[in-house]
């Protein structure tokens, strides 16, 4: 079968995270079958995203405007700055609805293995933002992995004297989590960080 257009579509779909060769084939068939409801809108949405979505020059978030909607929102608390690894983390925190400050997207973690040093991340712009004043608290919300925590430590050191308060997210038992299924590290952290009930 010399279905070059179809084959190319399947190959590209298979590169998306979460889609293997088999589900890419199913997705391509679905797209062709639902041409007007799915294929054409998706092609248009991709073209619109390619044209309009850009990186916010202040925080590194993705948006169709620069500065992004969060940086430009006058209702956000400008004294709070939350440092995250990736744009996906901004979205996760926004979905939680629990945070009303600003963000700073690093673009990854420090990694000796992958050869990612501080220059590869957006750390210098973060120091500059903190140094410009007006920020009361920097929340380090990197992942609870070795690399995420190394990055958080490095940034905390660099922020010394620049931000009145530097905090990190609490570690402990996830809401809905059963003790029996938790790893030892989480359990001992949760025990050490126990809080008085009354």
Provide the binding-site residues for a second copy, judged by CB under 8 A: 1-6, 8-9, 12-13, 15-19, 23, 25-32, 35, 38-43, 45-50, 52-53, 62-64, 68-70, 86-88, 91, 94
Cα separation, 124 vs 154, whole angstroms: 12
For a second copy, which is the closer residue by CB, 16 or 146? Answer: 16
Residue 176 to residue 127: CA distance in whole angstroms:
37
CB of 52 to a second copy, least distance (A): 5
Q: How far is the CB of 116 from a second copy (least distance, A)?
A: 15
Q: What letters, b where the CB count within 10 A reaches 16 and e where it falls short, cover 56-89?
A: bebbbbbbeeeebebbeeeebeeebbbbbbbbeb
Nearer to a second copy, 48 or 191 (CB): 48
Least Å distance, CB 47 to a second copy, is 5
Compare residues 24 and 130 and give the one whose CB is closer to a second copy: 24
Based on CB atoms, which residue is closest to a second copy, 64 or 165?
64
* Cβ–Cβ under 8 Å, residues 136 and 164: yes
- At its nearest, how many Å lie between a second copy and the CB of residue 37? 8
Nearest alpha carbon to residue 111 among 82, 156, 142: 142
């Amino acid at each position: 079968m010399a279905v070059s257009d179809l084959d190319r579509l399947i190959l590209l779909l298979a590169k998306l995270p979460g889609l293997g060769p088999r589900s890419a084939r199913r997705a391509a068939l679905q797209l062709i079958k639902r041409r007007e409801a799915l294929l054409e809108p998706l092609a248009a949405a991709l073209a619109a995203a390619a044209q309009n979505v850009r990186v916010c020059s202040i925080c590194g978030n993705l948006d169709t405007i620069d500065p992004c909607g969060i940086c430009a929102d006058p209702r956000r608390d400008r004294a709070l700055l939350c440092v995250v690894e990736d744009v996906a983390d901004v979205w996760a925190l926004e979905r939680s609805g629990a945070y009303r400050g600003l963000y700073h997207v690093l673009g990854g973690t420090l990694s000796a293995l992958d050869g990612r040093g501080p220059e590869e991340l957006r750390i210098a712009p973060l120091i500059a933002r903190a140094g410009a004043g007006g920020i009361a608290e920097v929340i380090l919300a990197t992942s609870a992995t070795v690399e995420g925590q190394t990055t958080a430590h490095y940034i905390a050191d660099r922020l010394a004297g620049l931000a009145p308060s530097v905090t990190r997210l609490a570690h402990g038992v996830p809401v809905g989590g059963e003790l029996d299924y938790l790893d030892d590290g989480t359990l001992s952290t949760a025990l050490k960080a126990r809080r008085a009930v009354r």
